[in-house]
Structure 1
């Protein structure tokens, strides 16, 4: 049976493809979405779970970004991500990344604000239901700040990875 899934279009809900692509515009930026069933299709109504999550996407995004800031301020993985890039990247590249950020703030703070949402991956049936990927620019670094939430939007953890 096919259903129209928000941002993904028609999807065979009982046997969807392992990987489904979608997109959304948030803050005038194109964000990649993917819906993943590598571990099989959950036995419960995953469509309702997804639609329930997506209807609160702006709130989830605000919560994710608050978690990124809190992790940074606590000296966690986000602070490591920022410090790593400030140490490893040429000053000229850092300057390009910082264009448009508040010049009255520290480079660390400015790099933190340069993090932009690139992708949200959904994994129905998994504890880490939604995976939010942030980057200072994929053309600059392969490393991402990653935030995982459960299906209600509760933050599971914040980390960085490639």
Structure 2
């Protein structure tokens, strides 16, 4: 099969790949971008199936990633803890109160802020473009004044959606 319709994407010729494909889609009442990044100019049928399955499972992986993020927050040296603390260190109380309910005493402020993470982008690197050792990248951020912050909590996974690492990038 040469031409293939991946979920979210228009027809792609698997034997004449471009380096980069990108789409914007509705996801959980917001827009996210999904991109495919290729090193090679062709892929085989098993790779096509792996990409298809990964794309079909983005919602499942998002839910799974949030569990990874919550677990990472519990770690003293976790990237998530540093990421969340950044907001408390850099933002004024008034700015934080626009994001979370500071009067909520039932849930920690860290968890309240963590719950505000929004998925902005999913990137796939099926053949190791840019010498990546991971397969999927999920970029999360917190909206400030209705716009995503440029500070990203990034979950990197293998082709099955299993955690490779969590990083904080900007």
Whether TM-score is above 0.5 comes out as: yes
SS at match of 2:17: coil
SS at match of 2:21: strand
Per the TM alignment, residue 24 of structure 1 is displaced from its structure 2 partner at its CA by 3.0
Per the TM alignment, residue 27 of structure 1 is displaced from its structure 2 partner at its CA by 1.7
Counterpart position of 1:110:
112
1:31-87 alpha-carbon deviations (Å, 9 max, x no partner)? 2101111x2246433221111112222221221110011001113000000001110
Tell me, which stretches of 5 or more residues in structure 1 are unaligned?
none
Indicate the RMSD between aligned Cα atoms, in angstroms: 2.1
Whether the 8 Å CA contact 2:141–2:151 is kept in 1: the answer is yes
* TM-score, normalization by structure 1: 0.88
Counterpart position of 1:63:
64
* TM-score, normalization by structure 2: 0.84
Tell me, which stretches of 5 or more residues in structure 2 are unaligned?
none
Question: Distance in 2 between the 1:56 and 1:140 partners?
Answer: 24
SS at match of 2:161: coil
1:63-121 alpha-carbon deviations (Å, 9 max, x no partner)? 1110011001113000000001110112222122226x992323222111111111100
Whether the 8 Å CA contact 2:140–2:152 is kept in 1: the answer is yes
Question: Distance in 1 between the 2:111 and 2:143 partners?
Answer: 16
Alignment of 1:7-156 (within 5 A): 7-37=8-38, 39-41=39-41, 43-45=43-45, 46-75=47-76, 76-98=78-100, 103-104=104-105, 105-126=107-128, 127-137=133-143, 139=147, 141-156=149-164
Q: How many residues align?
A: 160
Whether the 8 Å CA contact 1:145–1:159 is kept in 2: the answer is yes
Runs (4+) off by over 6 Å: none
Per the TM alignment, residue 157 of structure 1 is displaced from its structure 2 partner at its CA by 0.7
